Structure 1
Amino acid sequence: MFVHYLEEVNHPRASVMKGLEIKRKKLDWATNGNTTDCGIFLMRHMEKFKGLREPFEAGFSTNGSRKMKEVRKLRMKYATHILLSPSNTMKGKIEAASFIGAR
């Protein structure tokens, strides 16, 4: 789908990517059917990825309940960073409505 999109927008790299084979990497911590937290897994991937030369390790546990605790903690971390980002035009209102503004 991504290559199809690149072709639609006439991106110069579309032809290069068209010939590539997609390989799905087996991850011991991967989940099946958890579509709610895909953004959390994506953010963690972007945070931890160091290039193709090193083995990828996102730091998730393979234990289901422990992994979900890690996901909840990351959800809070990423939400906090987004809400309190200087780019967020509503940051002041969020701080005022929370304990953060009370410091």
Structure 2
Amino acid sequence: MPKFVLAYHTGPSFNPPADGPKHMEDWKAWMAGLGEAAVDPGLAVGPSKTVGTDGVTDGGGTNPLAGYTVIQADTIDAAIEIAATCPHIALGGTIEVAPDMELPM
């Protein structure tokens, strides 16, 4: 079954100290509900640095990465349906859904 990366981007209404405990409860329930579709629960990330030909910049740009999860689904549309139920959306965040290109490594 194809794999997809769900890349979480922080929304403007997320306040970790205030929203953290409730969000974590919602997150754990959502993750448990994914069952075998959850390949890798991933991790949350803090402030980033972006490395490019111009050097290193702080902050991850205008829509910084907040974390990721790897799921499996039959199609990208099915993966989008899964992403749409994530509690990250309710906090004003966005989720980028990208398919595994299945390149030999």
- Give the TM-score of the pair, scaled to structure 2: 0.26
Looking at secondary structure, tell me which structure has more strand per residue.
Answer: 2
Looking at secondary structure, tell me which structure has more helix per residue.
Answer: 1
- Give the TM-score of the pair, scaled to structure 1: 0.26
